[in-house]
Structure formats: C-alpha cells, structure tokens
C-alpha cells in the first residue's frame, strides 16, 4: 500500500518535499493556505498576517549556484544573485518541470494535526483542513511534513525603548516595509545590522534626508561578489578548505577577517564586532 504524506506549505521547502515524496514512491498531498506557491518569495503588496514578507528591492544573498536544487539548476540567463521575482520564477519552473501543482491544494488551511486514536498501532495522523468559510475535512495520513517557514511574526520590543510613548514619528518592523515610498526628506534610524537592516538602510538612503544604521554589536560585512567577479559564497567550499577550517579554526578566522578588512576597515567604521566571523551570520551586501 502506498503511504500518504501531508505536506503543509507550498514554499521552497514544501515544493521540494512533494518532489522527494514522489521520487520515493509516496503519495504527497500539499496544503497551501494562500492562492499560490512561493511562500516567502511571493511578494505581497500588503503584509498578510501570519505570513513572512519581503520588500520590493530584495535580492537573495545566496548565489543561484549555491541555492539551486541539485536536480534542477536555474536557467543560465538568471543573474548570480536573483531578485525575489526571479526566485519565484525559478520555483514556478521547478513546479512545472516535475508536475507538482496537481498535488497542491490551494486556499486550504490546516487547522489541526493530531495522532489518530490507534496511532500506537498504525502510526497515522489526522489532519483537519478548512477551505472557504466552513468547509472542514479530516484526512488520514501516514506522515506529516511541516514546511511553514519562520519569521512570520514580527517582534517589535518598543517597551525596551524609553520615551517611545512620546515619539510622534512612524515606527514599524521590517516585516511591514515594502519600499522607500513615504520616506522622502525624512530622518530615519534603522535598528539592526542584519541583512534586512542593511538592505533597508541603503534603500531608504536614496530618498531620505538622513539615515542612521544602529547596531548593538557590529557585524562582519561581506560583499556578494568575490574575487574575479565570482559569487563570494563559492569560495572556501572545497573539501580542503573545509578540512583546514576544521583543523585550524582560529587561523582561518584570522585570515577571513584580514581579507574582509582589506575591503574596508571595520574598526574605522565602528563595525568591528567582538565575535569572530564564524560565531554568527555575517551581513551580505
């Protein structure tokens, strides 16, 4: 008997999960609460509660060479670092190539996932879904794959900033950001130097009177483009590089930090963090 698998979400993880299930002779059913595939990479004109969101100018930090699916490389004409619309195009091509859409149920929300009463014997799961207003169904599956992503709920700790109650300007999370529209001539502070913070600060700086980028601990800033114009993330990935990193981590860390400081002196710009390069994510630009 073919085992039935529920896949929750039709973003990149959900789509690849459906594909792998088919490769293994399983019967996948993907439930997607929205009307389309893509998850994070489907740009929404207005933020949708409970979903991850991106802004208009997003370009992926990972090169297409590193992020591509092993069985379906992106078309050669797409750039090394794709705009979000090109990432979504790539996902659409992937779905079409492997005929995945027939396994996806759109506008179907998963309400509950629970073990069946005879789970100890069958190992099966009950998945309750809803389509439309009140159309609920309960399905039985042999396995469930949860592919709903993360960063769906913005965290805005305004209470940690004394005086916010009297601040008359606009305050919002990057989750709400779409473009620099409305920022013309304004003085803006962006809190956080992660990839989103850096992107948004640059985006707004094109129209604002002044932009300040606030960072608590600094960051190692890495260019997307490496030596010779090749994507930066293609360097240091050989077996020998990985072996050297494992055997001599401190030396490798010093060499990388030296290389990054050749692009610009992190200390001079007040960005040098106390942590080493490998301790946390760097900021790609």
Confidence of residue 280 (pLDDT cuts 50, 70, 90): confident
Produce one character per residue of 149-188: b if its CB has 16 or more CB atoms within 10 Å, e if not. Answer: eeeeeeeeeeeeeeeeeeeeeeeeebbebbebeebeeeeb
If one counts every other C-beta atom within 10 angstroms of the C-beta of residue 11, the result is 22
Q: Is the pLDDT of residue 203 over 90?
A: yes
> Mean of the pLDDT values across residues 179-200?
94
Cβ partners under 8 Å of residue 58, min gap 6: 83, 84, 199
> Mean of the pLDDT values across residues 222-240?
86
pLDDT value at position 245? 86
| CATH code of residue 186 | 3.50.50
Q: Using CA atoms, how far apart are residues 233 and 54, in angstroms rounded to an integer?
A: 22
Cβ partners under 8 Å of residue 255, min gap 6: none
Tokens of 26: 């399983």
Q: Using CA atoms, how far apart are residues 164 and 162, in angstroms rounded to an integer?
A: 6
Q: Which domain holds residue 279?
A: 158-284
Q: Half-sphere exposure of residue 257, counting CA atoms within 13 Å on the CB side?
A: 18
Are 214 and 190 contacting, i.e. CB atoms less than 8 angstroms apart? yes
Q: Does residue 208 share a domain with residue 123? A: no
For residue 88, tell me if it sits in a domain.
yes
Tokens 């090109």 identify what position? 86
- If one counts the domains in the chain, the total is 2
pLDDT value at position 152? 83
Q: Does residue 129 share a domain with residue 256? A: no
For residue 122, tell me if it sits in a domain.
yes
Q: Using CA atoms, how far apart are residues 221 and 46, in angstroms rounded to an integer?
A: 30
Q: Residue 203 to residues 58, 63, 175: CA-CA distances in angstroms? A: 10, 21, 15
Q: Does residue 133 share a domain with residue 18? A: yes
Strands 135-141 vs 125-131: parallel, antiparallel or unpaired: antiparallel
Confidence of residue 43 (pLDDT cuts 50, 70, 90): very high
Q: Is the pLDDT of residue 7 over 90?
A: yes
Q: Is the pLDDT of residue 284 over 80?
A: no
pLDDT value at position 241? 87
Our separate counts of H helices and E strands in the chain read: 7, 11
- Average pLDDT over the chain reads 92
Q: Does residue 228 share a domain with residue 276? A: yes
For residue 152, tell me if it sits in a domain.
no
Q: Does residue 255 share a domain with residue 122? A: no
pLDDT value at position 183? 95
Q: Does residue 276 share a domain with residue 214? A: yes
Q: Is the pLDDT of residue 281 over 80?
A: no
Tokens 């705009």 identify what position? 83
CA dihedral 215, 220, 223, 228 (to 10 degrees): 160
Tokens 């290389």 identify what position? 259
Q: Does residue 24 share a domain with residue 140? A: yes
Q: Using CA atoms, how far apart are residues 7 and 139, in angstroms rounded to an integer?
A: 12
Over the stretch 124-151, which tens digit does the pLDDT of each residue have?
A: 999 999 998 889 999 999 999 999 988 7
Q: Does residue 138 share a domain with residue 42? A: yes
Q: Does residue 129 share a domain with residue 14? A: yes
Q: Does residue 192 share a domain with residue 131? A: no
For residue 153, tell me if it sits in a domain.
no
Q: Is the pLDDT of residue 34 over 90?
A: yes
Q: Using CA atoms, how far apart are residues 207 and 257, in angstroms rounded to an integer?
A: 33
Tokens of 137: 């169904």
> Mean of the pLDDT values across residues 203-224?
93
Residues recorded for the chain: 285
Per DSSP, helices labelled H in the chain are 12-23, 64-67, 84-97, 119-122, 195-205, 239-247, 249-263
Over the stretch 89-113, which tens digit does the pLDDT of each residue have?
A: 999 999 999 999 999 999 999 999 9
For residue 223, tell me if it sits in a domain.
yes
Confidence of residue 153 (pLDDT cuts 50, 70, 90): confident
């Amino acid at each position: 008997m073919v085992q039935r698998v529920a896949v929750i979400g039709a973003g990149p993880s959900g789509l690849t999960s459906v594909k792998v299930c088919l490769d293994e002779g399983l019967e996948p059913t993907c439930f997607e609460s929205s009307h389309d595939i893509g998850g994070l990479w489907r740009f929404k004109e207005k933020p949708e509660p409970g979903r991850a969101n991106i802004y208009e100018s997003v370009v992926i930090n990972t090169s297409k060479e590193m992020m591509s699916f092993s069985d379906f490389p992106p078309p050669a004409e797409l750039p090394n670092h794709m705009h979000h619309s090109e990432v979504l195009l790539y996902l659409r091509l992937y779905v079409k190539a492997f005929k995945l859409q027939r396994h996806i149920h759109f506008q179907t929300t998963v309400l509950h996932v629970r073990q069946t009463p005879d789970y100890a014997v069958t190992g099966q799961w009950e998945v309750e879904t809803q389509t439309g207003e009140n159309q609920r169904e309960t399905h039985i599956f042999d396995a469930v794959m949860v592919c709903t992503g993360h960063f769906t709920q913005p965290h805005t700790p305004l209470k940690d900033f004394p005086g916010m109650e009297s601040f008359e300007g606009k305050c919002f999370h990057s989750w709400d950001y779409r473009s620099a529209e409305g920022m013309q001539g304004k003085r803006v502070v962006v809190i956080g130097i992660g990839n989103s913070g850096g992107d948004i600060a640059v985006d707004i700086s094109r129209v604002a009177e002044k932009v300040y980028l606030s960072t608590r601990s600094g960051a190692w800033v890495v260019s997307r483009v490496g030596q010779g114009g090749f994507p930066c993330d293609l360097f240091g990935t050989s077996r020998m590089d990985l072996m050297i990193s494992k055997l001599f981590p401190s030396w490798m860390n010093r060499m990388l930090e030296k290389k990054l400081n050749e692009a610009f002196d992190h200390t001079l710009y007040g960005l040098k963090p106390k942590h080493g390069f490998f301790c946390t994510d760097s900021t790609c630009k």
